[in-house]
């Protein structure tokens, strides 16, 4: 990882986590998931767009049979968030009796997961867990069970490895933090 700062939309960011550090954290999380779900054939439900890089790397390291589906969560009316999940776009699989693992890039306030979980649970899965790359415990506003957290981070704004700043920065292999 380069030691230089970057600028996105005139906002400065400094290096925070290297691709190697991210890979180590993702491998560790994948090992836990592989052990916990051995023989179960879980369905990984990836929340787009931010989790695409994390999900790709995570699934490379998960051993055993599993399926993956990509969803988008619609919670907007016009230009403002309603604060509730209106629709899960892309989930066509029958989840009844399945072990679901929601793959999220970052859990900060927990609002998305707070509203997504009941929607998924209403469809009768055997279990639902969250696997997140980043967790900001200081930001959490909703009680959530987070068994699978790759990295806990402070309440700072981060970009890279799938996370963006106004649409840019998702393609960065490292993670940067706003200065």
The residues, ordered by sequence, that sit 6+ positions from 79 with a Cβ below 8 Å of its Cβ are none
List, for residues 118-151, the tens digit of each pLDDT value: 989 999 999 999 999 999 999 899 989 999 999 9
Question: For 88, what's the count of Cα atoms within 13 Å in the CB-facing half-sphere?
Answer: 21
95 - beta bridge partners?
A: none
pLDDT reading at 80 higher than 70: no
Closest CA to 102 of 48, 161, 154: 48
Q: Give the three-class secondary structure for 29.
A: helix
Average pLDDT of 170-177? 96
Q: Dig out the tokens for 155 from the structure.
A: 């309440």
23 an active-site residue?
no
Q: Give the C-alpha separation, 145 to 131, whole Å.
A: 10
In the prediction, which pLDDT does 79 show? 40
Domains annotated on the chain, with CATH = 20-153 (3.40.50.2020)
* Beta strands per DSSP E along 36-157: 43-47, 67-74, 76-77, 80-81, 87-89, 99-107, 127-135, 148-152
- Bridge partners of 17, per DSSP, are 175
| pLDDT over 90, % of the chain | 73
Convert the pLDDT of each residue in 51-66 to its tens digit: 999 999 999 999 999 9
pTM summary value? 0.90
Q: Which of 57, 105, 108, 174 is catalytic?
A: 108
The C-alpha atoms of residue 114 and residue 143 are separated, in whole angstroms, by 8
Give the rounded percent of residues in the chain with a pLDDT score beyond 70.
Answer: 91
């Amino acid at each position: 990882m380069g030691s230089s700062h970057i600028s996105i939309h005139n906002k400065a960011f400094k290096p925070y986590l290297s691709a190697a550090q991210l890979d180590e954290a993702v491998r560790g999380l994948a090992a836990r998931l592989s052990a916990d779900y051995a023989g179960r054939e879980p369905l990984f439900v990836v929340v787009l767009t931010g989790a695409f890089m994390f999900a790709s790397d995570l699934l490379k390291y998960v051993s055993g049979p599993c399926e993956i589906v990509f969803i988008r969560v619609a919670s907007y009316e016009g230009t403002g968030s309603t604060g509730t999940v209106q629709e899960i776009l892309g989930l066509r699989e029958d989840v009844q009796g399945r072990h679901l693992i929601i793959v999220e890039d970052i859990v900060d306030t927990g609002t998305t997961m707070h509203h997504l979980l009941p929607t998924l649970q209403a469809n009768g899965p055997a279990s639902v867990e969250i696997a997140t790359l980043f967790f900001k415990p200081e930001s959490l506003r909703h009680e959530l069970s987070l068994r699978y957290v790759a990295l806990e981070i402070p309440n700072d704004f981060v970009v890279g490895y799938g996370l963006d700043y106004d649409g840019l920065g998702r393609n960065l292999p490292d993670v940067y933090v706003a200065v």
